[in-house]
Chains A and B, each alone.
Chain A
Amino acid sequence: MRGLYAIYRKEMSHYFVSPVAYAVVPIFLILSAVFFNMYLADGIKASFEASMEAMQGGAAIPFDVPSAVMGAFLSLVGTILLFLTPLLTMGVYSEERKRGTMELLLTSPITDWQIVLGKFFASLSLFIIMILPTVLYVVYMFAHSEPVPPWRLIAGGYLGVLLLGVTLLAIGSFLSALTENQIVAGVLVLGISLLLWVVGFFAGTGNGVIAQSLQYLALLQHYNPFVRGVIDTTGLIFFASWIFFAIFLTMRAVDSMRWRRA
């Protein structure tokens, strides 16, 4: 436990001096702010038009603007995460391998578990720090919208964000453990995360076994129900499997560093 904490602490202090965190986190926040404003403006416009129509004597269309805004926003956050999360983990092992510090870790009295989980929890913490400011938008909605967006949607949405993020972090860590070059690791995980995204489009209409299998693999396919406030078991199992599988593979990759010639 002490070893795990030592690794966690080291990783966190590394993140706070690394240019990667200072580049990725602000870009995420700027993008999410821009899109939130856009959706909010659209929502306000739509609701204004709807009320105008209602005043002109037409029937008011039931239209839940706050839910629509939050749903669209969280769905977009998922897409941004597909692009940005890979950048957070690309250096997590490859840099240590390149610098030779992996040799220090692997000859110290700490287990591979402590190394892998210490690093994993650190990247998770950074991810949460990155996501946390978007809670301000939720607070804003609760303060100013009528009706307030449903709790269910917010909770489900953020659970989805967390699961998607953790999955991408776990896959990214694994790929980073495979190479000494963090750019290669970054490109690999970005490629895989985009592949798992577009696979849904290609399979979108098909009904065959292959199409269904591909649909099952698509990350956002499982993410979107959460954004609608639906916490479904398939999605939970899907993300949990990816996370456990990727962490397990990372363990194996770290173990194998002992066997290969560094």
Chain B
Amino acid sequence: MIEVQDLTKSFGDKTAVDHISFSVNKGEILGFLGPNGAGKTTTMRVLTGYLPATTGTAKIAGFDVFDDSMEVRRRIGYLPENPPLYFDMTVSSYLDFVARIKNVPAEKRAARVTAALEMAKITDKRDELIKRLSRGYKQRVGLAQAIVHDPDVIILDEPTVGLDPKQIIEVRNLIKGLAGSHTIILSTHILPEVSMTCDRVVIINRGKIVAVDTPENLTLQLKGGARIRVEVQAPEKSLRDALAQISGVRKVEINSLGSAGRLVATVEANQGQDLRSQIAARVVGQGWALYELRGINLSLEEIFLQLTTEDAAQNPAEKAEGN
């Protein structure tokens, strides 16, 4: 449904998006993840036809976003970073206006506005002036605006910004509900959002794609390098030596746990190795008391940090091609 080929966008000598390629299948939710300033908004703006690409192409439903801009615009709903609201309009007259400029036929307009109000859960605010709404409601009006014409492709730039936790869950559910019949791209820098809503994740940093995969695979990919937490009663020095001697251990970090003389060691293993049994054997073999031993899975946050920090970004091309 969405096909991005070798897309680059520069502003003067600053490259915001650097030769990125990815595709989104029909009905899929793609998460666009990256720190602020990574190029997420720029990519979305190119996809909506708001900005022209410097080189490369982007196609939506087979139409080039630049050459067939009108065809593309007919098929997309777009929520920019700041919801594009007219503050002196009421919610329903605003949505009616958007439906008009999105070419919704007159006989369907009222029904579509009602449906969008319902989906965004703002039906009770329909006659309120937009300027009187709270930040969270404004964001939801922005969301309603993006779906009022029932577009094939929905592009959401940080859709949950400014919402309270309950609203965030509602919006995520709304987005999940839209998938299947709609193709969705959403950007965020909030990681749980991606693991909860998206089928696939594109991690982008400094304009380059550093990983494309499902949230599960991304977690799995680095799970082998997970850390193990060991709680032991032992002398610090000998514990450190004993653990460091195990083959496959990359790093040992020891903290003391209160006055009881118990220590907590965090062992970082090399990728793909599960050292839990070796560690247990070593600790017990030394005659120390083992209180706890468990693996700590790398969270998406940590994967994200690993991928977006300098040393992990060395082989982005290889990772991007993994998909």
Contacts and interface: CB of A to CB of B under 8 A. Distances in A.
A144 interface: no
Give the interface SS of chain A, mostly helix, strand, loop or mixed. helix
B52 A259 contact: yes
B128 to A, nearest CB: 14
B103 A104 contact: no
A91 to B, nearest CB: 12
Given A100-B84, A108-B102, A261 B11 contact: yes
Interface string B46-67: 0011111000000000000000
Interface stretch (A3-11, A28-36, A42-50, A172-180): A3-11
Contacts of A2: 100, 103
Given A6-B100, A17-B88, A261-B11, A104 B52 contact: no
Contacts of A101: 84-86
B71 to A, nearest CB: 8
B97 A10 contact: yes
A109 interface: yes
Interface residues of A, number: 28
Nearest to B146: A104
A7 B11 contact: no
Interface string A242-262: 000000000000000011011
Contacts of B103: 2-3, 109
Contact of B93 (A13, A99, A107, A111): A13
B74 interface: yes
A106 interface: yes
Interface string B99-120: 0111100000000000000000
Interface string A90-116: 000000000111111111111100000
A18 B88 contact: yes
Interface of B: 11, 45, 48-52, 70, 73-74, 76, 78, 80-89, 93, 97-98, 100-103, 145
